[in-house]
Amino acid sequence: MNALLSVSMLSADFGNLARDVQAVNQSAADWFHLDIMDGLFVPNISYGFPVVAAIAQQAQKPLDAHLMIVDPDRYIDRFKAMGCTYLSVHYEACTHLHRTLQHIRKSDMKAGVALNPHTPVELLEDILEEADFVLLMSVNPGFGGQQFISHTLNKVSRLKALILRKNLSCQIEVDGGTHAANAPSIIQAGADILVAGHALFKDGDVRAAVEAFKNNTPPL
Phi/psi at 190 (5° precision): 130, 5
Residue 203 is predicted with a pLDDT of 86
Other Cβ atoms closer than 10 A to 78: 12
Q: What share of the chain is helix, strand, coil (3-state, %, to 5)?
A: 40, 20, 40
> What number is the average pLDDT over the span 74-100?
97
In a domain, 90, yes or no: yes
User: Is 31's pLDDT higher than 80?
Assistant: yes
185-196 pLDDT, tens digit per residue, is 999 999 999 999
Q: Which of 55-64, 117-126, 141-150, 160-169 has the lowest mean pLDDT?
A: 141-150
Mean pLDDT value across the chain = 94
Q: Which of 105-109, 136-140, 146-150, 183-187 has the lowest mean pLDDT?
A: 146-150
One of 35, 38, 64, 132 is an active-site residue; which one?
Answer: 35
In a domain, 220, yes or no: no
CATH code of the domain containing 30: 3.20.20.70
In a domain, 177, yes or no: yes
One of 20, 30, 64, 175 is an active-site residue; which one?
Answer: 175
109 band by pLDDT with thresholds 50, 70 and 90: very high
- Number of folded domains that form the chain: 1
User: Is 33's pLDDT higher than 80?
Assistant: yes
Q: Would you say 69 and 40 are in contact if contact means Cβ atoms under 8 Å apart?
A: yes
User: Is 1's pLDDT higher than 90?
Assistant: no
2 band by pLDDT with thresholds 50, 70 and 90: confident
Catalytic residue status for 175: yes
Residues for the chain: how many in total?
220
Residue span of the structural domain in which 102 resides: 4-215
